[in-house]
Amino acid sequence: MDGRVKKVISYLIVAAIFFGVGCIFGKYHFITNDVRNLNSAVEVKSKSGEKGIIPAGSELHFHSSAHRTTKYFVFIELSDSEVSTKVNKNKVSHSGGIQPLAGSNQNGL
């Protein structure tokens, strides 16, 4: 093999290793960075108008803050049987992205 080819392959391998390490670090950092707990229950409403409650003590993972609102991720654990009966696959709206639930002081709740 030509010396240049070996050099290019070496750079590609190093780049792949750095990419993999970055992906792992990014996921770990997201899960462990700026985690909060709800002090009291929060009423939420979906775009379809259905209401629900996120109970006090629920763990929230910070996403972003802008325009006097803050967004958090909440992870929900469901059994496989619940998933098969209660969860439908949905297409992502590229114009709207992730559709957040409205918190208790937004959208007339």
All structural domains of the chain with their residue ranges: 1-33, 35-109
CA 39, chain centre distance (Å):
21
Backbone angles phi, psi at 44, to 5 degrees: -125, 155
Percent of the chain with pLDDT over 70: 82
- Residue-wise over 64-82: b if at least 16 C-beta within 10 A, else e? eeeeeeeebeeeeeeeeee
CB 106 within 8 A of CB 69: yes
3-25 per-position pLDDT tens digit:
888 888 888 999 999 888 887 77
* Res 89: pLDDT: 83
pTM here? 0.59
**pLDDT bracket for residue 72 (50, 70, 90):** confident
CA dist., res. 29 & res. 65, Å (int): 18
